Amino acid sequence: MAGMTMSETDDKIMATQRDKQGQTIARAVDRSHEAREQGGEPDAAWSMGEKLLNALIFERQDQLDALDYSEAEAIDRLRYDFGVTAEQFPDILTRIRAQL
């Protein structure tokens, strides 16, 4: 991405992530099914992002607290994976929850 401004680079990355959004949501749904079978608990081997997403999907403040994240911080971290703004992220959660 040589020759691009930071803003142009960010826009390109976000567009790429939006293109992959369906795959990312499908993986989140799969992980959520796994977590549901474990009482809503994420697997210890999951990445930080997967654990944060699990906490948001199942509305588990205790999990966010254990990871030392607020809801807003978790959304800000995860939104890039889906190529959306923080304001759009609740729609992602709704789409995931609808498939559970």
Q: What is the pLDDT of residue 5?
A: 73
Q: Which amino acid is at 25?
A: I
Q: Is 1 a member of any domain? A: no
Mean pLDDT of 49-67: 97
Which residue range is the domain that position 42 belongs to?
Answer: 6-98
Q: Look at the pTM and tell me if it is higher than 0.85.
A: no
Q: Is 94 a member of any domain? A: yes
Q: Is 91 a member of any domain? A: yes
Structure tokens at 60: 């588990």
Computed on alpha carbons and rounded to an integer, the radius of gyration of the chain in Å comes to 14
- pLDDT single digits (tens) 12-46: 666 666 777 889 889 999 999 999 999 999 999 99
Q: Is 62 a member of any domain? A: yes
Structure tokens at 64: 């966010």
For the chain, what is the domain count?
1
* Cβ contact 53:28 at 8 Å: yes
Mean pLDDT of 59-73: 97
Mean pLDDT of 68-97: 95
Q: What is the pLDDT of residue 6?
A: 60
- Asked whether residue 53 carries a pLDDT value surpassing 90, the answer given is yes
Q: Is 79 a member of any domain? A: yes
Quote the percentage of the chain above a pLDDT of 90.
Answer: 72
